[in-house]
Structure 1
């Protein structure tokens, strides 16, 4: 067959009542388009496109259910004859219902290049298709054809919007007769039909632009335009004065920077990637599941889309772009580290719309200016962009603190010039196995980081014979920059259009920080609780990472029930697999194993898989952390006053919120706690003893065992907190800088993990100690000296540490105190060794 059609997006919901007439709206008339839509309506069991539409009561007699906005037989200022007749019928018959279904057809998805005749022939563009073009499309691009049916619109509603809204002069030509039907006066409905046709045509233009992206400029021309823009001209002049060189020399440097970063879109490369990745995903995964994408499609036509996904794996770049492309939107331009700009791989990725950024360019004003202007060019051309706000891949499974560089450049561009309002799309990426799992564990334990290089990707590619389960892409609640601008009273056009170096004021800086945090929170809100993450959470919370199979099923079922009854967020998705199916699935992936036993089979983590499973547990830890905290307080104390529980959780919540990007606001925390406590009482895991006292179930009952398992996940976070607090209290105020405190805590955490915590890598993650120290500083528990940087604190540090006895068992508290008790010689030796290690690492990088 010459034509192979791919349907994009989800089929809309049609009104299938017999009295409703359906017509499909296309921009261009051609026999090939007509036949194509007719075949698609048959395939998807939709109202037929090429069959006559007759309604004798309303005097409708059309030989096909298709409206062409650009029709060769059009008269009356190029109006569609069929649309004109249908508008007249609706105006004269108040009971008549006609639904219009806009349809997009793409013969190929290559954006038009300004200087390429071949691209002009191959790609869909904005010109009327000639017979020669249609023959060329069928012959060359027929197997690369895409169709999308858009949301149906009621023609009467469209007419009334134009008439009642007074948007055109047609309203003056309409009156109501005695039956209250809208009728045309003296056949003068030309303005009305013209306005409707313009609206439909604009709608389909926007849809097409969202599918194939903006027109392309030749890379060489784009570099030249970039370098000669007013903003870069100013930056070049400033660089020449700063470095004592000529403007010509400074311009050459800027051009070199531009050539480093600017991409070179290649449709053949995109098509090759699409075919290869379709094969690759079928080899690697049981499925790629996409959640909540329709919200992105709704925004794509009128907004500048910025995808901000979590960063879990090398595969993220490819997977997200592939999914977006297959869902029918244009592929985003991806910010990639310049370590990927190597021979063979670099040009290929550049053709697949990657643009390269140096890992570090602090203090390089000209490079920063060129990058800002390139970002501004992409944004003002309505190019979708993708960047990983965490900066690098997470090694622990938790989200990393956001890096504000590209985010601030995005905001800077919007405040200079707003063509379309920016909307951020937080995106959760969840795997059930990751290729780099072993590497991540090694890096957390101190092995040198493996760079994202060609060799690294080749090593990964050797694993394609393995099965990695499902992968989930969940598109979170969009964040509109205009909402933040209103919140922080930041005006559009606040920054000069022709400058890249205009500074942000305090409001703008606060706004950017808030956007960054909200992005991370919305990524976590879009979490997918998949079978592997549930198994990891359950088994790693159990003694020796093993449970009786029946108990394991019950615990999985409990977590599923809780996650559904009190959802973490509306965007959070919970697997619908049964607990038994989840266990069998984990065995299939070789992550867990079943040990037969006469008293009941035992489910346990497979050999050496515990550190890796902690990664997947951490993907969803935020969903259950408050429940775990409540369970820990009740389980460790046997009974506890509700007021004391509230006080402890309230004081420690900001640290958990900072570490896990929890979205519950502090002022509403009590309502959240009450809801979760009531849910645990309903499940029998907590007993309401009256008089404001909560108690644990009787020991050795299944309810008590479930409570113990639920209590475990929060413990490692709290152990890290109290380890840090013990170290600070033992060393005293004014003796350690923030960096020294983090380094020492990191060393102590490694030692604690090896000796007492089954080598689980959470204690190896330096970022977690940084997060806690920063939270203590932000909340004014710690105050860095402005000159020396040493940390000062008061009795409140001990007050927080006092809560440890309500959560941790006495043995663990003693261990933490022993580990944190370093004398001056230990401190001096450790700081010296850490400093030497950092210098060696820095030397290798240089």
Structure 2
């Protein structure tokens, strides 16, 4: 006791004077009379966190305000405790971990005991909230925002940083006094009173802090316990005990480790710091960020659980979308990120900005799967917005990838399990004019291993900050209310909520994924790079005279405007000359003079990169390209044969490109395209029966019609290659893996022999996706031994594909697939396909 008094006599005054050489504070209320302290009753101050700096601020500000001295002994009857303050929270280490296991302050226990013993005694507890710095949302410095007040109790080092960074902006808020006597009514004993008073004070400080810095969105510290208490997690822990022979405590420790590995640690300060950094970064990288249809988001956000599902083209995607959502005044989402991004420093920052991490595979870890499933359900049930990519990874080809069912299935099952709050998927299209990862994508498509993410790799990208990356377009697609979709697809879904995942839910999840992908594609934005890629990559040497290039671009713009793919799609506002000039500035094309006129060509090594941007919007022009292919290769087709061929190939295109028209609407969509092509002189009406004809082969219009069809040629050739291999080997002769390998090897050989301008042509995933499409459409089926079977129905798409390709392409593919009767033999130019095991 004597030591404490001596400390108060010399150390606290000295430390207080030194601190206030730097500290400047704002005190509320401005008039202390507004506190309505009862005269004659002792006052005991209550602070939230145990820090010497907080105590020194309290001592100084109480002196200035003329309030009872916090460092003075507290007079309670005949007793005089050495001080008039206590802390609610326990003492913490330098890193912020709790050290003192005693939940209650000794002074608090003494006050409660004295008040219970003396019915006439009352003490006024005066809570004082001390915040170092303004609300994170008001910070204009990245460092200050990063180290501003958070819900995480700070350690000594963090508190020291707070003093240095925010010492000129300390907020001190005295709150209305709490009567200890009033809290003890009802005959509570000492232990009950301590628990009640501690709870009241924590709730009080929590509300005050929420008013100042916003709600506590951190899961890592507040929800790990809730995850472990989940029924499925408890069952998984019991299974771990039985399977691996470990103790229940060990199983719980493993589950807790998984939960901490997964969970985000949301911080308002970190989000604000990232917002300031990204504001600087976007200005450095891009000419601008264009947003489209965000009003659809503001319409559905109130009262709904929002799940953002953007396409995945770049690591920039999740940073960009969260940034825009926050700038629009909405709560940034919690983002599912691959465990490969949980890097030192970077992972911690992403986690504090709302990222939660998941492994690429849950196989062999049922406990991990149960913990992740429960964590996701908890996030959804508590109404936090969520964001993930249903493609699983970034698209290296530029097209929408086949969705992965994993986290989407968990979301659907969570909603079926508990659907008190309506859930809406918000598909988002993100379109770039240049990619930070462009070169690495090309290397991976060429067969190089994917480069592992690292802190050093991130630091190396700083070199890109001086480059020009054009504009970015972000378009919100039509939201998808999950309950309404389930009602239409499976009306009895609510009755099956106790049996989740239900047997019928797997097919339903695939339909949800397909619908989301289709809506993302509907919201595509046509930019100048897309258009120049469509036009120039179709030419044999990636070169065109300027007037012809302008005319081809105008054809695409006319098709987009007069036979629109979808009402949500966004047109390019530049005209053809402006588009050429714009892409020239970005370094994609160059101009050179020829005696007969100006020529425009793709700059060296840019063709593979441009193929990526062509693929971004290939679905917008897939139907016009198919029609152009049919007429440029066949010169004349009757209306019935035309409709049959379009329908046959559309079945395959629709599943891979996520095209929007059901088969019943295809004829109307085709007619709209034909009207535009006829009006522009690219097609001619034939006899009264409705046949169509191409212009004369020597005409400019015929050349332009041919070029329109060239954009879809690599995709059609991949189809024809796969179907030709199936036809050659026969039904029941190949496994799926053998077919994928054969397609990949043959595609590689074709790339070496012919110029495809499509670096993803031989990508194994592309063939795998197409084979999945054939299985989904029931053109192929797998038996128990894994062999692929098909019937005559598969030959119809094959015959239709032949109509769309040149004779040279057909012959080359058939010869290399082993179908050339004149020589070469079965499987020429192709590694032998091993027979499947019996």
Band the TM-score falls in, shorter-chain normalisation: 0.7 to 0.9
| More divergent stretch after superposition (672-681 vs 258-267) | 672-681
Aligned-partner Cα distance in 2 for 1:635–1:240 = 68
Report the equivalent of 2:493: 491
| More divergent stretch after superposition (747-756 vs 797-806) | 797-806
Contact 2:218–2:264 under 8 Å retained in 1 = no
Deviations 1:379-414 (A, max 9, x none): 111101110110001000011100111111111111
Deviations 1:130-188 (A, max 9, x none): xxxxxx999679xxxxxxxxxxxxxxxxxxxxxxxxxxxxxxxxxxxxxxxxxxxxxxx
1:569 equivalenced with 2:570 (yes/no) = no
Report the equivalent of 1:229: 230
Give the deviation of 1:795 after TM superposition.
Answer: 3.4
Report the equivalent of 1:289: 290
Report the equivalent of 2:465: 464
SS of 1:586's equivalent in the other structure is helix
SS of 1:401's equivalent in the other structure is coil
Cα 1:513–1:121 shift into 2, 3 Å = closer
Q: Which runs of 5+ in 2 are unaligned?
A: 1-28, 31-133, 140-146, 154-165, 172-209, 819-823
Deviations 1:10-66 (A, max 9, x none): xxxxxxxxxxxxxxxxxxxx99xxxxxxxxxxxxxxxxxxxxxxxxxxxxxxxxxxx
Contact 1:752–1:763 under 8 Å retained in 2 = no
1:279 equivalenced with 2:276 (yes/no) = no
Which of 684, 707, 711 is the equivalent residue of 2:705? Answer: 707
| More divergent stretch after superposition (726-735 vs 291-300) | 726-735
Contact 2:218–2:266 under 8 Å retained in 1 = no
Report the equivalent of 1:430: 431
Report the equivalent of 1:649: 646
Deviations 1:509-546 (A, max 9, x none): 22211110001000100000000001000101122111
Cα 1:621–1:217 shift into 2, 3 Å = closer
Report the equivalent of 1:412: 413
Which of 738, 758, 761 is the equivalent residue of 2:759? Answer: 761
Q: How does 1:61-460 map to 2 (within 5 A)?
A: 109=137, 215-217=216-218, 219-460=220-461
Aligned-partner Cα distance in 2 for 1:763–1:833 = 26
Report the equivalent of 1:625: 622
Aligned-partner Cα distance in 1 for 2:510–2:379 = 23
Deviations 1:233-252 (A, max 9, x none): 23322332333332222111
| More divergent stretch after superposition (517-526 vs 334-343) | 334-343
Report the equivalent of 2:633: 636
SS of 1:280's equivalent in the other structure is helix
SS of 2:637's equivalent in the other structure is strand
1:718 equivalenced with 2:720 (yes/no) = no
Give the superposed CA RMSD. Answer: 2.9
Count of residue pairs brought into register by the alignment: 641
Aligned-partner Cα distance in 1 for 2:222–2:803 = 66
Contact 1:477–1:522 under 8 Å retained in 2 = yes
Contact 1:304–1:379 under 8 Å retained in 2 = yes
Give the deviation of 1:773 after TM superposition.
Answer: 1.5
Give the deviation of 1:554 after TM superposition.
Answer: 1.2
Report the equivalent of 2:774: 776
Cα 1:750–1:215 shift into 2, 3 Å = same
Deviations 1:432-487 (A, max 9, x none): 01011111111112111123332332232321110000011111110000111211
Contact 1:424–1:479 under 8 Å retained in 2 = yes
Contact 2:517–2:658 under 8 Å retained in 1 = yes
Aligned-partner Cα distance in 2 for 1:621–1:279 = 33
Cα 1:282–1:493 shift into 2, 3 Å = farther
Contact 1:743–1:834 under 8 Å retained in 2 = no
Contact 1:804–1:813 under 8 Å retained in 2 = no
Which of 653, 677, 680 is the equivalent residue of 1:680? Answer: 677
Deviations 1:600-658 (A, max 9, x none): 11111111100110000000000001001001111111111111011011111111011
Contact 1:212–1:329 under 8 Å retained in 2 = no
Which of 584, 588, 591 is the equivalent residue of 1:591? Answer: 588
Please give the TM-score of this superposition, normalised by the length of structure 1: 0.72
SS of 1:360's equivalent in the other structure is coil
Deviations 1:304-324 (A, max 9, x none): 110001110121121111111
Please give the TM-score of this superposition, normalised by the length of structure 2: 0.73
Deviations 1:553-577 (A, max 9, x none): 1111121121011211111001101
SS of 1:762's equivalent in the other structure is coil
Give the deviation of 1:829 after TM superposition.
Answer: 5.0
Cα 1:218–1:740 shift into 2, 3 Å = closer
Contact 1:400–1:767 under 8 Å retained in 2 = no
Q: Which runs of 5+ in 1 are unaligned?
A: 1-29, 32-105, 123-135, 142-208, 497-501, 836-846
Contact 1:450–1:456 under 8 Å retained in 2 = no
Give the deviation of 1:493 after TM superposition.
Answer: 6.7
Report the equivalent of 2:475: 474
Which of 809, 812, 836 is the equivalent residue of 2:806? Answer: 809
Report the equivalent of 1:206: none
Give the deviation of 1:120 after TM superposition.
Answer: 8.3
Aligned-partner Cα distance in 1 for 2:662–2:803 = 24
Cα 1:536–1:833 shift into 2, 3 Å = farther
Report the equivalent of 2:601: 604
Aligned-partner Cα distance in 2 for 1:490–1:683 = 51
| More divergent stretch after superposition (773-782 vs 285-294) | 773-782
Aligned-partner Cα distance in 2 for 1:824–1:358 = 43
Contact 2:733–2:788 under 8 Å retained in 1 = yes
Aligned-partner Cα distance in 1 for 2:811–2:345 = 56
Give the deviation of 1:679 after TM superposition.
Answer: 2.0
Deviations 1:478-517 (A, max 9, x none): 0000111211114337334xxxxx5422432222111100
Deviations 1:729-761 (A, max 9, x none): 222222210111011101111111221124531
Q: How does 1:539-558 map to 2 (within 5 A)?
A: 539-558=536-555
Give the deviation of 1:703 after TM superposition.
Answer: 2.1
Report the equivalent of 1:530: 527
Give the deviation of 1:348 after TM superposition.
Answer: 1.2
Cα 1:542–1:380 shift into 2, 3 Å = same
For the pair shown, the structure with the greater C-alpha radius of gyration is 2
- Displacement over 4 Å in runs of 4+: 106-111, 116-122, 136-141, 211-214, 822-835
Aligned-partner Cα distance in 2 for 1:615–1:635 = 25
